[in-house]
A and B are shown apart, each in its own frame.
Chain A
Amino acid sequence: MYSNNLILFAAAGAEVSSVWDSVLNAILMILFSLIAIVVVMTFAGLSVVAERKVCAFMQGRYGPNRTAIPWVAAVPGVGGILRSFGLMQLVADALKFLLKEDPLPNHVNKPWYLAAPAIALTPVLTVACLIPCGVIYTDSGKIPMAVADVDLSLILALAIGSLGAYGAVIAGWASNSKYPYFGGVRASAQMISYELTMGICALTVAIWVAPITGKPFSLFSIADSQSGAMWLCITQPLTAFLFLVALFAETNRLPFDMAESETDLVSGFHTEYGSFKFGLFFVGEYGHVAVASALFATLFLGGWNPLPGLSWPADWGWISSVLCVLTFLVKVAAMIFFFIWVRWSVPRFRYDQVMRLGWQCLVPLALANFVFYIILRAAIA
């Protein structure tokens, strides 16, 4: 993988020998990846709190507002805010996951059972490294603010992102009991059906931006093509909608949380998991939501651009870059809120409805949409 950022940082390090360059590159690469992981984890954690708070508000409750770490809560002002926003609940939840007894059932396939949570979490963190969250303006042009700026990052993100389903499938299979097994089977079937829609939508986007940028499959150029121009959710509303629906299915969120549907499958694929291993699934799910939000924001909501047709001016230098990142984070947060909002509004579909919706509505629609935009593109060009 090749990253432009590293060039920037290496340039800052002046003219050093090429050996030092590559060492520096490696260190920076690791550092950036760690930052990406920390950011995704933070977002996942905050989404958990947001989920609890938003659902509480929608149901006329307050949500967690009591948990307090003694000397933190005593800080005037900040302590009270942290407490009433439920942010210290996050620490309590994490501690609970860490400190609970970690049972290993006898009937499971142990290696895979242990591997599954990690398999569920890793792709999420990997995809996070691909998403450009802003842009650095230099004299030589724009440099994407992504850990790994790959030319095919869109394809890579879809490919790796969908590996997350293996976490659910393997967990379901390795748990060696009925409900997790059903959960795993459903996860895989759903993944296959909606992955298709998602792929076609991504293609639609790619052919649309292809004449504008040289690299139609790079997330950075897709987002960049929307700066100072119309956002893709305006030029391609149907694509955006289909992609969004598929994202909901991909992230296993209601109304598509077939793999987990606790009303008929106890808790689905992670029924047999407890304590920290469950915590990993949990964080993985919310990380997935955060990453999916970021992906949607990049593709359809103009990435780091504040408004359709507007972009932060390049001659503001680093201020512009900071604003870019902030704009992007706001968009991601708004998308996460949307995910939560939908979850607490829409009931779960039945499994056959999910399959029917996927194959009989979304895939044909996405295909028709794809053909339409090919023709439109050709007509414009």
Chain B
Amino acid sequence: MSITVDRKKLSFLERTYIPQIIGGLYITFRNMFKKKVTLSYPDQRPTLPPGYRGAPTLVKDGDGREKCVSCQLCEFICPSKAIRVTPGEIAPDGKYSFIEKAPKAFEINMLRCIFCGMCQEVCPEKAIVLQNEFSLTGLSRAEMVRDKAALYAAGGTMPDKIKKWSRVKSNAELERGDH
């Protein structure tokens, strides 16, 4: 059995459309005195939520060691091909020489980067992190390509919970096989 729902006929006043207009005018008038939702941007800064994906940066660990081991995974995963890693070796006489590799040069072209966060996800060393910086400007294209120094300067330090490299102290230890 089909049921026809009773539909209320519009009253005469409703058909004149005037009460609706007055209602609308009332709403817009009230809105004028509400708190503004606009953020006066350069003066006021937005509060960024945790997990915000800003510009990718390189970070050091608690001891000031550069985490990146120049495995180039980020370079290969980057969908917009923004990253160029030039792998290099760590000098054999250094404290961390047993890690063997570190980037000789590391460039992220911020004109290409799409802030997708793939590099951060793929990095085995948690060395590349998208942080809070969202307003990037430059006067030339070259300026927008951030080199290694700039990336570290923007990244700062980010200590790891698990210090996997401190379990191995030196190359000598490695050779003895007692880790």
Please list the residues of chain A having a beta carbon within 8 angstroms of any beta carbon in chain B: 54, 57-62, 341-342, 344-346
Hey, which chain B residues are within 8 Å of A60, CB to CB?
A: 31, 34-38
Say how far A111's CB is from chain B's closest CB, in angstroms.
42
Hey, which chain A residues are within 8 Å of B5, CB to CB?
A: none
15 further A-B contacts with Cβ under 8 Å, apart from A57-B32, A60-B31, A341-B29, are: A57-B31, A57-B36, A58-B31, A60-B34, A60-B37, A60-B38, A62-B36, A62-B38, A62-B40, A341-B28, A342-B21, A345-B21, A345-B24, A345-B28, A346-B24
Hey, which chain A residues are within 8 Å of B29, CB to CB?
A: 58, 341
For window 39-59 of B, CB contacts with A under 8 Å fall at: 40
Say how far A340's CB is from chain B's closest CB, in angstroms.
10
Interface class of chain A by DSSP = loop
Please, how many angstroms separate the alpha-carbon atoms of A61 and B38 in the complex?
A: 5
Known: A60-B37, A61-B37. A345 touches B32 (CB 8 A): no
Please state if B37 and A54 are interface contacts (CB–CB under 8 Å): no
Please, how many angstroms separate the alpha-carbon atoms of A345 and B31 in the complex?
A: 11
Please state if A342 and B37 are interface contacts (CB–CB under 8 Å): no
Hey, which chain B residues are within 8 Å of A341, CB to CB?
A: 25, 28-29
Q: Is B27 located at the chain interface by the 8 A CB criterion?
A: yes
Q: For residue B22, which residue of chain A has the nearest CB?
A: A345
Say how far A16's CB is from chain B's closest CB, in angstroms.
55
In this complex, which of A54, A59, A342, A345 has the most chain B Cβ atoms within 10 angstroms of its Cβ?
A345
Say how far B15's CB is from chain A's closest CB, in angstroms.
10
Say how far A137's CB is from chain B's closest CB, in angstroms.
38
Q: What are 9 inter-chain pairs, A to B, with CB distance below 8 A? A: A54-B32, A57-B32, A58-B29, A58-B31, A60-B36, A62-B38, A344-B28, A345-B21, A345-B27
Which 8 A/B pairs are nearest by Cβ-Cβ distance?
A345-B24, A57-B32, A60-B37, A345-B28, A58-B28, A61-B38, A345-B25, A58-B31
Say how far B93's CB is from chain A's closest CB, in angstroms.
57
Known: A341-B28, A345-B28. A61 touches B36 (CB 8 A): yes
Hey, which chain B residues are within 8 Å of A345, CB to CB?
A: 21, 24-25, 27-28
Q: For residue B42, which residue of chain A has the nearest CB?
A: A66
Please, how many angstroms separate the alpha-carbon atoms of A248 and B31 in the complex?
A: 23
Please state if A59 and B31 are interface contacts (CB–CB under 8 Å): yes
In this complex, which of B27, B29, B38 has the most chain A Cβ atoms within 10 angstroms of its Cβ?
B38
Hey, which chain A residues are within 8 Å of B38, CB to CB?
A: 60-62
Interface string of B1-43 (1 = CB under 8 A from A): 0000000000000000000010011011101101111101000
Say how far B28's CB is from chain A's closest CB, in angstroms.
4
Please, how many angstroms separate the alpha-carbon atoms of A60 and B31 in the complex?
A: 7
Q: For residue B32, which residue of chain A has the nearest CB?
A: A57
Hey, which chain B residues are within 8 Å of A58, CB to CB?
A: 28-29, 31-32
Hey, which chain A residues are within 8 Å of B28, CB to CB?
A: 58, 341, 344-345
